[in-house]
Amino acid sequence: MCSSAVMEQVRTRISRRAFLGATGAAVVAGVAGGSGTAQATTIFQAQGGSLRIHDLSHTITPQFPVFPGAQPFSMATDATIEEDGFYRNNLSLTEHVGTHIDAPAHFDADGVTADRLPVENFFAPVAVINISMRAAQDADAQVVVDDILAWESRHGRLPSGAFVAMYSGWESRLSDPDSYVNQGADRALHFPGFHPDAADFLVSKRDIVGIGVDTLSLDFGASKDFGTHNTVLPAGRYGLENMANLGRVSAAGATLIVGGPKHVDASGGPSRVYAVEGGATRGMPGSLPSTGGGGMSGRR
């Protein structure tokens, strides 16, 4: 459970007033994204400097790629303003479609479900590890321990309670869903992910709340044993898959904000995810006292 002192700091530091300053702020620029988001980045002039809010979620459509055999998203309108006075849709979807969270329970029978994840773990300093050049040459590229150590050599040790994201540039393939899934003649999928050794390093040697990828899976596509899932999730951490616009986020210094699902016994679910960075974020959750992200029990 999170302490009342920590949550009070979260409420104070995440408030609109804390973001935008005592006098408020106006939108200066909205940069359109090419990956299914209305605005990839919104820029505010805020007290303390420019504030950038990156939308890290893709828009879910019936064409959004899913794992082979999984149910795609579908939507049917069942009320319109013209006929009913209000607008409403019925949705049909798997929990693991679009930009979504994997809860510990997704791979651990005793793991915590998404609706029971500690809310303070949804606010975290984010480290972005860029392997896009390697991924452009090798669809099976993986984040390895050396990538994490190289990030730390430039930016310092991963902060306590960090979220570590892989940027591979894979979202550029979303306009061609088959290319995004990238199933080869060998019937295996081919896209980047975290190597299980890197996952083990992060959960055993560093204090993280979770990891994320801009592909279909935390594991690289050709994995046969889901070693990364089976390392991260049973350790009580969460994952984010199909993240958008990570190439716009600084390698260090941004704060992740996750709007996770809260339906009962959720193994995961579509999520609205943001990264916030800039001068006005000083004092944001990245500087909160440690909530023991690495010590989350992962038990319900």
Q: CA-based Rg of the chain, rounded to a whole angstrom?
A: 19
The 3-state DSSP composition of the chain as helix, strand, coil percent (nearest 5) reads 25, 25, 45
- Under DSSP, the state recorded for 7 is H
Looking at residue 50, what is its pLDDT? Answer: 83
Looking at residue 37, what is its pLDDT? Answer: 52
Looking at residue 79, what is its pLDDT? Answer: 97
> Which residue stretches of the chain have pLDDT < 70?
1-38, 46-48, 279-300
Looking at residue 292, what is its pLDDT? Answer: 41
By the 8 A CB rule, do 49 and 63 touch?
Answer: no
Q: Which residue ranges make up each domain of the chain?
A: 4-62+95-295
Rounded to an integer, what is the distance from CA 58 to the centroid of its chain? 11
Residue carrying the six token digits 């969460």: 238
Looking at residue 166, what is its pLDDT? Answer: 98
- Domain 4-62+95-295: CATH class, spelled out: alpha beta
CA angle 269, 270, 272 (to 5 degrees): 130
By the 8 A CB rule, do 168 and 194 touch?
Answer: no
pLDDT digits (tens, 9 = 90+) for 180-216: 999 999 999 999 999 999 999 999 999 999 999 999 9
Looking at residue 134, what is its pLDDT? Answer: 98
